[in-house]
Amino acid sequence: MNRVRLLVLNAALGPLDYSVPKGMRVEPGSVVIAPLGPRTVTGIVWDEGRLPGKQVDSNKLRPIREVVDVPPLSAPLRRLIEWTAEYYCAALASVARMVLSSGGALGGPTTMTEYRLSGGLPERMTSQRLAAIETLEDEQGTIRELAGIAGVSEGVLRGLVNQGVIEPVMVAIDRPYPQADADFHQPELSLDQRAVAREMVDAVAARSFAPFLLDGVTGSGKTETYFEPVAQALRMGRQVLVLLPEIALTENFLSRFEQRFGAAPVQWHSSLKSTERRRAWRAIAGGPKGGGAQVIVGARSALFLPYADLGLIVVDEAHEISFKQDDGVRYNARDVSVMRARFEGVPVILSSATPALESLHMASSGIYKKLVLPSRFGVAEMPAIKLIDLTIEKPANGRWLSAPLIEGIAARLAAGEQALLFLNRRGYAPLTLCRNCGHRFQCPNCSAWLVEHRLSARLACHHCGLETKPPEKCPECGEADCLVACGPGVERIADEVAELFPEARIAVATSDTLGSPERAAEFIAQAEAKAIDVIVGTQLVTKGFHFPELTLVGVVDADLGLEGGDLRAAERTYQQVAQVAGRAGRGAKPGEVLLQTRHPDAAVIAALANGDRDAFYAAETEARRDAGAPPFGRWAAIILSSEDEREARMAAARLGDCRPVQDDLYILGPAPAPMALLRGRFRYRFLVNARRSANLQKALREWIGAQDFPPGVRVGIDIDPYSFV
């Protein structure tokens, strides 16, 4: 190759041609550094003829500067980049950047300095030094990391370094990982589990694309079952990717994985240090042998890592909406996982107790192979579900728990068992207002109320992240001590439980309190040790956790998810409530679920109470069919935004005037988005409904690509949207 076309990792530049210096070896997928004006850019050598661009005379081409010392990106991964960009109407370079998201993996030092206790003592002992020495006995890391673990300042530790109490240690950043053993511990599986596992194991052995929907009730042992095809991939020396929807679930999974395979998997998520990301990226690209990465567990971004020899993909809790990326490249990791498995020629397992309606439709169409685990493992039984009609069993004024739910909690506490209360609303209260003038505290950057968080003494916007201290006086009328909390969040429910049961040990479980794997691990350890009596949590506690002594689940407001005009509101409500109900009675003791509702006759609530999932999904399927909604039709959202409201409105109007006219395409809008102001930008929205016969992406590209938008206007396209704000 004497000339190549590079996919440069800058969407504004487009593909660029370069010459290849004599003696330099490149191939499709090679990562290279090339000059661009006075600077350099990173690019990927692409397959000839697959990128657009004008042919430039060879004499005018500048030479590539260097080839980065990483394995070339494989052909299946390059095809996945192309497919993702095409399907989600994204720039090819933006997708490719996700593959090379760990910048440190492409270069930089191969060693780093960490610190550990030397065994010596300081000349003068202080309380802080003593606390650090006791806490850091088995720890090693950077000064900053150790300071965080010990809860002392970095200066305290540097003083101990100067006295030789803490010593530096040089470590290799790319050191090998402990290797998992496929046969370390073989669990006893039920007949159903063995039959299901055999089909998946055979598919891994066959080395061919095979999509499975693993549909098992909560507590049926889906994880233990899909560990069998994971073991088969390990025996074959191949890599496995397991996607989890939440970082907080990682710690629980790591523990179960290590019990089964004798070593922890490689992690990939946003909480990793840059050195950890570099180590993981290079071990994944280098392959599973010789201390490389065998099994990778991670968030959705792990899907785009450069696996050397992928043999299996598992998407756990595959129904979860957190697999959908809401900014940048707006992809759904569940669906892209299936495409990556197809390009790689490997099986993919979508595991869920409450599959997405789209996944069930693919299974009923014969595209996915449905594997069913119909009952809980061992002696555990599904919990009984009872409705509490809040129009009859009204909580006391200023309270949110009804008498039957309070009695249920009391009975569990008296028996030494645990209870879980679910409300999918973070913080203390969703709205704060002034009792004197009625002023409502709203985010200045978003069309959203500020949420009160009493645990951290702040008012916060859950959309842009703005935080502020609650004011001493109303900013509108100047009245002091006048703020009133309206409505409940989990912190308010926890306060109510504490007042009712002052002896109970209560834990609030949300993304605010379990925002890191370490915090999640501490929570799990306390719950398993029965150091917690009542858990009050959001959707974070609806999945993945297994506490044998948890026998009561109370859903504080089963109707909350039905509010608003979300296409999937009923489905999400069913999934969330069914999942949190599944936390009850997972051990030998029977469980009970109490649902507080004001609409006991609503179809989704009745289906939950009757345990009739199939009837609910059948009715929901017909409603979607009638509306031409997914999976029978296609949706796309177009958002135009600007810091200038008039500029956004005019740009949306001009785009609306040029809308395509097609029989199989229906375009609604423009209209102000439900979240009309977000992060300081005014937003206007189109919603496109397309029949399956329409070439939706082509129509959108031609429609939007023909427009000339002002520099201040951003245009975002969301294919298969999950958020309608």
Question: CATH no. for residue 18?
Answer: 3.40.1440.60
Domain containing 279 equals 191-373
Asked if residue 182 belongs to a domain, the reply is: no
Task: Give yes or no: residues 336 and 221 share one domain.
Answer: yes
Q: Which residues of the chain have pLDDT under 50?
A: none
Question: CATH no. for residue 271?
Answer: 3.40.50.300
> Using CA atoms in the order 141, 145, 151, 157, what is the torsion angle rounded to 10 degrees?
60
Q: State which of 630, 650, 676 marks the end of a domain.
A: 630
Burial of 181 (0-12, 13-18, 19+ CB in 10 A): middle
C-beta separation of 60 from 3 below 8 A = no
Task: Give yes or no: residues 470 and 500 share one domain.
Answer: no
Asked if residue 82 belongs to a domain, the reply is: yes
Give how far the C-alpha of residue 710 lies from the chain's centroid of Cα atoms, to the nearest Å. Answer: 34
Q: State which of 99, 124, 153 marks the end of a domain.
A: 99
Domain count, the chain: 6
Residue with tokens 């009859």: 392
Asked if residue 351 belongs to a domain, the reply is: yes
Which of helix, strand or coil describes residue 582? coil
Question: CATH no. for residue 141?
Answer: 1.10.10
Task: Give yes or no: residues 233 and 334 share one domain.
Answer: yes
Asked if residue 106 belongs to a domain, the reply is: no
Kindly report the pTM of this predicted structure.
0.90
Task: Give yes or no: residues 497 and 604 share one domain.
Answer: yes
Task: Give yes or no: residues 683 and 608 share one domain.
Answer: no
Q: State which of 450, 472, 487 marks the end of a domain.
A: 487
Asked if residue 409 belongs to a domain, the reply is: yes
Residues 146, 139: Cα–Cα separation, whole Å: 7
Residues 245, 259: Cα–Cα separation, whole Å: 22
Q: What pLDDT score does 655 carry?
A: 97
Asked if residue 288 belongs to a domain, the reply is: yes
Q: Which two tokens stand for residue 653?
A: 């109007």
Find the DSSP H helices in 456-548. 490-500, 517-528
Task: Give yes or no: residues 555 and 643 share one domain.
Answer: no
Task: Give yes or no: residues 458 and 496 share one domain.
Answer: no
Asked if residue 578 belongs to a domain, the reply is: yes
Task: Give yes or no: residues 656 and 626 share one domain.
Answer: no
Task: Give yes or no: residues 7 and 17 share one domain.
Answer: yes
Task: Give yes or no: residues 536 and 677 share one domain.
Answer: no
Residues 341, 363: Cα–Cα separation, whole Å: 17
Question: CATH no. for residue 703?
Answer: 3.30.70.600
Cis amide leading into 444 (omega within 30): no
Asked if residue 269 belongs to a domain, the reply is: yes
Burial of 127 (0-12, 13-18, 19+ CB in 10 A): exposed
Give the residue from 606, 532, 547, 582 showing the smallest Cα distance to 422.
Answer: 582
Query: In terms of DSSP bridges, do strands 633-642 and 592-597 run parallel, antiparallel, or are they unpaired?
Result: unpaired
Q: What pLDDT score does 109 carry?
A: 64
Task: Give yes or no: residues 625 and 638 share one domain.
Answer: no
Q: What pLDDT score does 103 carry?
A: 63
C-beta neighbour count of 109 within 10 angstroms: 9
Task: Give yes or no: residues 358 and 497 share one domain.
Answer: no
